[in-house]
Chain A
Amino acid sequence: KAGVTQTPRYLIKTRGQQVTLSCSPISGHRSVSWYQQTPGQGLQFLFEYFSETQRNKGNFPGRFSGRQFSNSRSEMNVSTLELGDSALYLCASSFFPLVQNTNSPLHFGNGTRLTVT
């Protein structure tokens, strides 16, 4: 069974640009959640999609958005990039949505490292 695949692995963008990251979950998983990891703040929850619907959202500005397709693949978009958006962006998939999930482990991708210059 293939794991969670995130593309691209590395990305360099300039302030003001926008970026789209992709996450393909494990086959059969319908929940995809996104996380930002920085040296200062650690890991933070961005949002979760389940069955093409955003289920919940962390405390991030509206520049951070996402969507999920019918095959459960998810994309995350960041518009008007700022230097502070430089981070490792991770996604995780699971069978159940986070709100109902008490026993189904999360499976993480290897992340996309975004550098904003």
Chain B
Amino acid sequence: KNEVEQSPQNLTAQEGEFITINCSYSVGISALHWLQQHPGGGIVSLFMLSSGKKKHGRLIATINIQEKHSSLHITASHPRDSAVYICAAHYGGSQGNLIFGKGTKLSVKP
């Protein structure tokens, strides 16, 4: 069964702190998505990666294919980073669908 586990479920941080959100998946994937969802529902795609590491501004995403694990890091966190972060395992092959983690609700306090 394809499963995606995210941790932690909830995270409260002080402005400026370094934040890490973890994502583990159970079987081989073609790519891993990191998504950001603000109140109101809209989702923004932050990263799509199939190997190594990607960086965009203060956000860094890494993936370890052998360990079936990915992390999202936020450096110098800011209150505007408060949102729900969701990882999604992208299965290609004959499936071509996404399995989502339950999300991590991040709250950054000023």
**A103-B50 in contact given A48-B97, A97-B96 (Cβ < 8 Å):** yes
Q: Does B76 contact A (CB under 8 A)?
A: no
Q: Does A14 contact B (CB under 8 A)?
A: no
Other-chain contact of A98, B86, B96, B102 (Cβ < 8 Å) = B96
Q: Per-residue 0/1 for B41-79: is the Cβ within 8 Å of any A Cβ (1 yes, 0 no)?
A: 111110010100000000000000000000000000000
Range class of the A interface residue count: 20 to 34
Q: Which residues of B contact A55 (CB under 8 A)?
A: 96
Q: Which residues of A contact B96 (CB under 8 A)?
A: 48, 55-56, 97-100
Question: Number of A-B pairs whose CB atoms are under 8 Å?
Answer: 76
Q: Which residues of A contact B41 (CB under 8 A)?
A: 37, 88, 90, 110-111, 113
Q: Does B11 contact A (CB under 8 A)?
A: no
Query: Number of residues in B with C-beta < 8 Å to the partner?
Result: 27
Q: Does B13 contact A (CB under 8 A)?
A: no
**A45-B50 in contact given A88-B41, A101-B90, A111-B41 (Cβ < 8 Å):** no
- In the assembled complex, how far is the CB of residue B110 from the closest CB belonging to chain A, in whole angstroms? 27
Other-chain contact of A44, B30, B31, B100 (Cβ < 8 Å) = B100
Q: Which residues of A contact B50 (CB under 8 A)?
A: 102-103
Other-chain contact of A45, B31, B48, B97, B103 (Cβ < 8 Å) = B97
Quick check: B90 and A98 within 8 Å, CB to CB? yes
**A42-B42 in contact given A48-B97, A56-B97 (Cβ < 8 Å):** no
Q: Which residues of B contact A45 (CB under 8 A)?
A: 97-100
A-B contact pairs, 11 of them (CB 8 A): A33-B98, A42-B101, A56-B97, A90-B43, A92-B43, A99-B95, A101-B90, A106-B33, A107-B45, A109-B42, A110-B40
What is B's interface to A at a CB cutoff of 8 Å? 30-31, 33, 35, 40-45, 48, 50, 86, 88, 90, 92-103
What is A's interface to B at a CB cutoff of 8 Å? 33, 35, 37, 42-45, 48, 55-56, 58, 88, 90, 92, 97-111, 113
